[in-house]
Amino acid sequence: MPKPEKHVFICGQNRGPGHPRGSCAQSGASAVWEEFAFEFQQRNLGGKIGLTNTGCLGPCNGPHVLVYPEGVMYGKVAKEDVAAIVEQHLVGGQPVERLTLPKDVW
Ligand code: FES
- Judged against a pLDDT cut of 90, whether residue 16 lies above it is answered with yes
Band of the pLDDT at 95, cuts 50, 70, 90?
very high
DSSP class per residue in 51-104: EEEES--SS-SS--EEEETTTEEE-S--GGGHHHIIIIIIITS---GGGBPPTT
**Mean pLDDT over each residue of the chain, to the nearest integer:** 96
Please report whether residue 101 resides in a domain: no
The total of structural domains in the chain comes to: 1
Helix (H, G, I), strand (E, B) or coil at 9: strand
Contact 59, 106 (CB under 8 A): yes
Q: Residue 88: give the domain boundaries.
A: 1-49+57-64+78-93
State the CATH number of the domain containing residue 23: 3.40.30.10
Q: How far is the CA of 25 from the centre of ligand 1 (A)?
A: 8
Across residues 17-25, what is the average pLDDT?
Answer: 96
Nearest to 69 by CA among 4, 2, 1: 4
How much is the pTM?
Answer: 0.95
Please report whether residue 104 resides in a domain: no
Band of the pLDDT at 47, cuts 50, 70, 90?
confident
Q: How far is the CA of 12 from the centre of ligand 1 (A)?
A: 7
- Judged against a pLDDT cut of 90, whether residue 61 lies above it is answered with no
- The residue contributing the CA closest to ligand 1 atom 4 is 60
